[in-house]
Structure 1
Amino acid sequence: MEITLHFFFNLSLIIIVLFFCMLWIGMSNKLQSFKNTAIAFSIVSIIVCFIFNYRLFEEFVIDLRIIPIMVGGLYAGIGPIVGLLTIILRGLYGFNIGYFATSIFIIVISLIFWRIFPWFLKLSARQRIIFFTGMTFIVSFFPPLFMDIYQKDNLGFDIYFAYLLLQPIGALIISITIEITCKTVKLHQHLVKAERLEVVEKMAAAISHEIRNPLTSAIGFVQLMQDETISKDKSDQYLSILKSELFSAEKVIRNFLTLSKPELPTVETLNVNSELQFVINKLQPAATRSLVSIQTKWTESVWIHGDRQSFHQCFINIIKNSIEAMENGGTVTVEVESTSTNIDIRVQDTGKGMTQEQIEHLGEPYYSTKGEMGTGLGVMVAFNIVRAMKGKINIKSEIGKGTSFEFSFPIEEQQREKASSYNN
């Protein structure tokens, strides 16, 4: 069983090469790279087979070269190329009857594989596996048969077992591995596409939901203003509400533009304490209505680079969410600390808190802890603004105890000098 053992060793090496090739396809998750990988597998495997071949007689060198030739011919459509490579490599072992017989045999099967390659790929995965294995079994008849006739001697059970059983089994294993890998990549691509479509659908629903409400109100007040009997005071009141609703619609559109293009409109030096105080003053009425007190903890003035309007929008969204997280009232604490390299801003509430799973999903399109009442756009916008300002966000939360949003923005030495000169 020496030939069988050597074929086992040959097959093991081919499977190792296949493993790395399939690993590459799996990591890239692109079927476009499959053909190039199949070509690389065929070439490397043929070289490996010739390096670790078995010399049966002076004229005959045997190995499992048929398997990579079939992979290259049927899966990659490069039958003539791998055939030519095989003939060249076989020539390194001498030009004898075995070389010429091998050359004729390889030319014939390479051309056949090249011709049926388009038809082969149109088959189902199951049909390809059966055809690939069956074709390997048929092709495997010829080498031992020719050697038997040429030597006019019985070569024994060993060589027929190796060619007619081990080689088709190896072809079956390799074909199944290729098909499973391709199916896995296709499923991954389908899943990614489905997720993208879902995001688009949810974003479209968010746009429709958010803009429809103010526009519906605006249309209603326009219709009321068309009544010639209404007084001037009523008309002014309706006009004011109409303007407010249109501003709401414009704000929603601005949020979506921020998502798609998070660049800062302008970059200026911002006094963090002053800007945060402005945000707090703006949100104070909403906090009072919700029985929420807003406390601040900061001392010296600190400065960062950023866009004032975007900075306001970011912390309005975050602090507003903190207020809404405390249905029965509570406290929002806004702290500012500075180090030699960073400005740290912490917004902490005493609300209902979030699970780790909810934290991991924050910032995803249309994900909100408010259920149907929220769209998740506020947090997404805040995250994009922080990234545009080269900042980082860390979120800590505990159910029943509250949530802490920790922001870290880089500070430059030039800004410190400017702040110092400004204070003096």
Structure 2
Amino acid sequence: MSHSELFNGLLINLLVILIIILLVNFYHLSNKRVYKVQIKSFPIFITATILIFFSLLLSVEFNNGFIYDLRFIPFLLGGIYGGRKVLPWLAVTMIAVRLPFLGSGLIVTVALTFVSSLAIHYLSPKLAAKPWVRRVYWFTFFSFCYSILGFLLPSLFFGFSDYSSFLIYSVTLTASTFFVFYLCEMIRTTYILQLESIKYEKMQVVSHLAASMSHEVRNPLTTVKGFLQLINENPSDAPTNTELSKIAVSEIDRATEVINQYLNFAKPHPELEIDINVTGEINRSKEIIMPLASKKSIIVEAELLHHHLIKGDPNKLQQVLINVMKNGIEAMESGGMLKIISYEESDRLYIVVSDNGIGMTEEQVTRLGEPYFSLKGKNGTGLGMMTVFQLVDGMNGMVKVLSRKHKGTSIILSFPMSEAKHERENTK
């Protein structure tokens, strides 16, 4: 048996071990809904036994009765990850699969298995708390010691003196142990990070949901507060106060609807999809936002040139429009004009809300819609535009933002048109 055949045989043995380890890990981490990294003892024992069996089948046998293979690697893997319950049974397996071949190497196998089992039984708990890189180095060193012992025993008791074969075996076994354990620890560490990431994302979802709910309820409450202040300033104007009271009540109803939507968030329910009169929703949103605009000396104009309806939820569209209009008004610190334009093009209905406020840089436009990204400092959460993007996407629409610093911003909303048309309403 030549040295090249020995080296090739050991490399094929390593390849089979790696393939089976990868398949087992992919099955465990992908096909099963696991929420912990540790695999049960029995699957580890079965996997290690299969690897030991294949390693022996791919072994390279010399005329002196000694067999070279990498079955120590699955034995070490099973003993480390399977724990003390698996270790004795793997030791019995190591000896049992070697027994049919007999020869002088059988005695060496029994001795090496016994010594290795004691060492693994003692070292495994101590290495469990170590960093994974240090564990890999320890396992590699342990494998190197095993190869040295595997040479000393035959040389002392059976006159073994094939130094070149031993060198090839020792280097290959040590390097293979490092590679296999490094791969296993990397897969294990990556999966731990994945579980932690999933947990963190769940916590972030809860946080965003709570903050978003607070943000969306605060908008109608702010409107109600503004209307109540207007009523208090001029209590004798009964007709105007009656109209303001109606709008305030409708805003309270909208806040209630928002709360109901978030309370039912986890329960699957059919989405409302009806024909929406965009003109009516724009006009209602204008009425709601007018007190805030008047307070800041901002003129609100609308030029509605569309003729068709769109499909979706009217409450969601109104929520989108109010958020966009409110952001536009708050971007104009010392008066200005908020302009709403609608038109149709290529089977889509466009709504453009433009202001001449502070504007945004390209980087700020790119980040628009991220949770907690806001240009309002401590007074903003960034959840208003995040909600806009989500609601528009839920209605099969798109959001485009055009902005220049100190020149203003245009938010372009586009939706698929419905085949139905609406009767023209007064938009002045």
TM-score where L is the length of structure 1: 0.67
Contact kept in structure 1, 2:13 and 2:69, CA below 8 Å:
no
The answer to whether 1:139 aligns with 2:139 is no
Q: Which residue of 2 aligns with 1:225?
A: none
Which consecutive unaligned segments of at least 5 residues does structure 2 have?
A: 229-234, 237-243
Deviations 1:230-271 (A, max 9, x none): xx99xxxxxxx9999999888667546545656677443212
Q: Distance in 1 between matches of 2:11 and 2:143?
A: 18
Residue 343 of structure 2 aligns with an amino acid whose one-letter code is V
Q: Which residue of 2 aligns with 1:74?
A: 80
CA shift for structure 1 position 276: 1.8
Q: Which residue of 2 aligns with 1:339?
A: 346
Question: Which residue among 313, 334, 341 is the counterpart of 1:307?
Answer: 313
CA shift for structure 1 position 30: 7.7
Q: Which residue of 1 aligns with 2:284?
A: 278
RMSD: 5.3
Residue 341 of structure 2 aligns with an amino acid whose one-letter code is V
How is 1:9-408 mapped onto 2 (pairs within 5 angstroms)? 9=11, 13=15, 17=19, 32=36, 35=39, 49=55, 53-57=59-63, 59-77=65-83, 79=87, 95-97=101-103, 104=110, 108=114, 119=125, 122-125=128-131, 128-129=135-136, 131-145=138-152, 147-148=154-155, 152-156=159-163, 158-179=164-185, 182-187=188-193, 189-190=195-196, 193=199, 197=203, 255=258, 258=261, 261=264, 266-328=272-334, 329-340=336-347, 342-408=348-414
CA shift for structure 1 position 316: 0.8
Q: Distance in 2 between matches of 1:395 and 1:50?
A: 66
Q: Distance in 2 between matches of 1:408 and 1:82?
A: 66
2:36 aligned counterpart, secondary structure: helix
1:75 aligned counterpart, secondary structure: helix
2:39 aligned counterpart, secondary structure: helix
Contact kept in structure 2, 1:79 and 1:113, CA below 8 Å:
no
Deviations 1:40-96 (A, max 9, x none): 9857865775576433337443122212331233124455787788779879xx744
CA shift for structure 1 position 203: 6.6
C-alpha spacing 1:265/1:192, structure 2 compared with 1 (3 Å): closer
CA shift for structure 1 position 347: 2.9
Residue 152 of structure 1 aligns with an amino acid whose one-letter code is G
Q: Distance in 1 between matches of 2:198 and 2:67?
A: 48
C-alpha spacing 1:203/1:371, structure 2 compared with 1 (3 Å): farther
1:393 aligned counterpart, secondary structure: strand
Contact kept in structure 2, 1:294 and 1:334, CA below 8 Å:
no
Contact kept in structure 1, 2:320 and 2:388, CA below 8 Å:
yes
Contact kept in structure 2, 1:59 and 1:98, CA below 8 Å:
yes
CA shift for structure 1 position 381: 3.3
CA shift for structure 1 position 116: 6.4
Deviations 1:266-304 (A, max 9, x none): 443212233223323432443344344444454342112
Q: Percentage identity across aligned positions?
A: 25
CA shift for structure 1 position 155: 1.7
Residue 35 of structure 1 aligns with an amino acid whose one-letter code is I
2:351 aligned counterpart, secondary structure: strand
CA shift for structure 1 position 324: 1.5
Worse-matched range after superposition: 159-168 or 249-258: 249-258
Q: Which residue of 2 aligns with 1:229?
A: none
CA shift for structure 1 position 306: 2.4
Contact kept in structure 1, 2:211 and 2:383, CA below 8 Å:
no
Contact kept in structure 1, 2:37 and 2:192, CA below 8 Å:
no
Contact kept in structure 2, 1:49 and 1:63, CA below 8 Å:
yes
Contact kept in structure 2, 1:364 and 1:380, CA below 8 Å:
yes
C-alpha spacing 1:346/1:45, structure 2 compared with 1 (3 Å): farther
Q: Distance in 2 between matches of 1:343 and 1:89?
A: 75
Residue 421 of structure 2 aligns with an amino acid whose one-letter code is A
Q: Distance in 2 between matches of 1:319 and 1:17?
A: 59
2:63 aligned counterpart, secondary structure: coil
CA shift for structure 1 position 336: 3.3
C-alpha spacing 1:398/1:104, structure 2 compared with 1 (3 Å): farther
C-alpha spacing 1:306/1:364, structure 2 compared with 1 (3 Å): same
CA shift for structure 1 position 112: 5.8
Which consecutive unaligned segments of at least 5 residues does structure 1 have?
A: 222-231, 234-240
Q: Which residue of 1 aligns with 2:421?
A: 419
Q: Distance in 1 between matches of 2:37 and 2:152?
A: 38
Q: Distance in 1 between matches of 2:63 and 2:349?
A: 79
C-alpha spacing 1:79/1:10, structure 2 compared with 1 (3 Å): farther
Contact kept in structure 1, 2:108 and 2:153, CA below 8 Å:
no
Contact kept in structure 2, 1:125 and 1:179, CA below 8 Å:
no
Deviations 1:93-122 (A, max 9, x none): x74437855875687579768966973674
Contact kept in structure 1, 2:10 and 2:69, CA below 8 Å:
no
